[in-house]
């Protein structure tokens, strides 16, 4: 857990004692979300990681301080018939963290993250700091809390996506913005001159030809009338082995441009660490900032 808020670096989603990452040898079906909040006046990051495998769904929660030190973590291991509803009390520096969840009626799509019919609440010293899911009334009744908005800010998301030529995801880049469909199209098998196309709601926003020469790059697009920096690294697809992934970053802060000043890959752990630490500072100063990293794995 310690490495994840330095943002998607190697072993960065080790919340559930797994070493899956953007540059891992094998890919898990997982989605990790990072929320920024304040606990007793201290800036902290709450990370939720949803996983899916043959054993069922899983959920891991971790809380780190601004120095990336793990304050606490809690795992709900993959379930089939149990642990869909419960609560847990944790101690953090003589304070109490209560975690409540109800996934008994949760509905899932193809990914590990629930779509509806659930809630997850994190309470610090009897105050709600994070509440996600659509069953908010049920959550308030259970934890006997006032129906107030959670104080956490959604700042980053990482998702493993799978495909052969087309790769899809959904994202909301701005708090009051629309939910958009993202599509990445790239066919590298047997192609003499492969190309890359990234679409938002079926509209092509990034088109890269001569991809073997432009396997890393960045481009600014407009989403909901605001700029979003798109960065890509498909080196592993073109020159790596068959189990390698490509990495795509969508970032609402202009600081993403700094990633490319020295021509390094966005899958490099140190570069990703710089990206997120800078992005968090920018989000605090500008009131903006959201990072989405898609790790695209080819289905063989």
8 and 142 share one domain = yes
273 and 171 share one domain = yes
37: which 2 tokens?
């909040």
Residues 174 and 226 sit within 8 Å (Cβ to Cβ): yes
59 and 170 share one domain = no
Please tell me the predicted confidence (pLDDT) of residue 69. 83
d(CA 150, CA 1): 23
116 and 211 share one domain = no
169 and 259 share one domain = yes
Please tell me the predicted confidence (pLDDT) of residue 245. 87
Residues 281 and 253 sit within 8 Å (Cβ to Cβ): no
Tell me which of 101, 123, 151 is where a domain ends.
151
Strand partners, 206: 198
d(CA 286, CA 186): 34
15: which 2 tokens?
């919340």
127 and 209 share one domain = no
54 and 190 share one domain = no
- Count the neighbouring beta carbons within 10 Å of the beta carbon of residue 264: 14
| Residue segments in the chain with a per-residue pLDDT below the cut of 70 | 1-26, 81, 145-150, 189-191, 241-243, 253-288, 300
Q: Count up the domains in the chain and report the number.
A: 2
Burial class (CB in 10 A: 0-12, 13-18, 19+), 92: middle
d(CA 296, CA 152): 28
Tell me which of 151, 174, 198 is where a domain ends.
151
- Count the neighbouring beta carbons within 10 Å of the beta carbon of residue 172: 16
Please tell me the predicted confidence (pLDDT) of residue 47. 94
Residues 273 and 280 sit within 8 Å (Cβ to Cβ): no
d(CA 98, CA 115): 23
Helix (H, G, I), strand (E, B) or coil at 286: helix
228 and 277 share one domain = yes
Contacts of 92 (CB under 8 A, 6+ apart): 39, 63, 71, 72, 124
Choose among 176, 157, 116: nearest CA to 250.
157
Domain residue limits at 45: 4-151
Please tell me the predicted confidence (pLDDT) of residue 146. 63
Tell me which of 151, 186, 218 is where a domain ends.
151
- Count the neighbouring beta carbons within 10 Å of the beta carbon of residue 256: 24
d(CA 255, CA 249): 12
222 and 90 share one domain = no
Please tell me the predicted confidence (pLDDT) of residue 26. 56
152: which 2 tokens?
């956490």
Residues 52 and 30 sit within 8 Å (Cβ to Cβ): yes
167 and 255 share one domain = yes
Q: Is the pTM of this model over 0.85?
A: no
- Mean pLDDT over each residue of the chain, to the nearest integer: 78
φ, ψ (nearest 5 deg) of residue 99 = -115, 125
121 and 233 share one domain = no
d(CA 121, CA 264): 39
| 85-119 residue pLDDT tens | 999 998 887 788 999 999 999 999 888 999 999 99
% of the chain residues with pLDDT over 70? 74
Please tell me the predicted confidence (pLDDT) of residue 55. 84
83 and 194 share one domain = no
């Amino acid at each position: 857990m310690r490495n994840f808020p330095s943002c998607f670096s190697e072993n960065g989603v080790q919340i559930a004692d797994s070493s899956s990452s953007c540059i891992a040898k094998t890919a898990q079906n997982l989605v990790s979300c990072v929320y920024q909040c304040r606990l007793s006046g201290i800036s902290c990051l709450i990370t939720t990681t949803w996983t899916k495998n043959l054993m069922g769904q899983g959920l891991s929660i971790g809380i780190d301080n601004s120095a990336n030190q793990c304050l606490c973590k809690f795992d709900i291991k993959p379930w089939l018939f149990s642990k869909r509803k419960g609560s847990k009390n944790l101690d953090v520096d003589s304070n109490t963290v209560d975690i409540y969840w109800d996934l008994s009626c949760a509905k899932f799509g193809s990914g590990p993250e629930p779509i509806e019919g659930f809630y997850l609440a994190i309470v610090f010293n009897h105050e709600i700091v994070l509440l996600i899911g659509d069953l908010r009334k049920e959550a308030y009744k259970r934890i006997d809390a006032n129906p107030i908005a959670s104080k956490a800010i959604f700042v980053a998301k990482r998702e493993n996506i799978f495909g052969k030529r087309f790769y899809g995801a959904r994202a909301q880049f701005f708090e009051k913005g629309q939910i958009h469909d993202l599509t990445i199209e790239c066919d590298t098998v047997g192609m003499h001159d492969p190309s890359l196309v990234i679409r938002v709601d079926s509209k092509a926003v990034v088109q890269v030809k001569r991809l073997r020469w432009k396997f890393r790059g960045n481009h600014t697009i407009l989403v909901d009338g605001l700029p979003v920096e798109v960065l890509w690294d498909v080196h592993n697809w073109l020159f790596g082995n068959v189990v390698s992934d490509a990495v795509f970053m969508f970032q609402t802060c202009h600081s993403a441009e700094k990633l490319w000043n020295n021509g390094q890959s966005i899958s490099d752990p140190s570069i990703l660490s710089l990206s997120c630490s800078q992005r968090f500072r920018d989000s605090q100063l500008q009131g903006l900032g959201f990072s989405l990293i898609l790790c695209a794995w080819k289905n063989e």
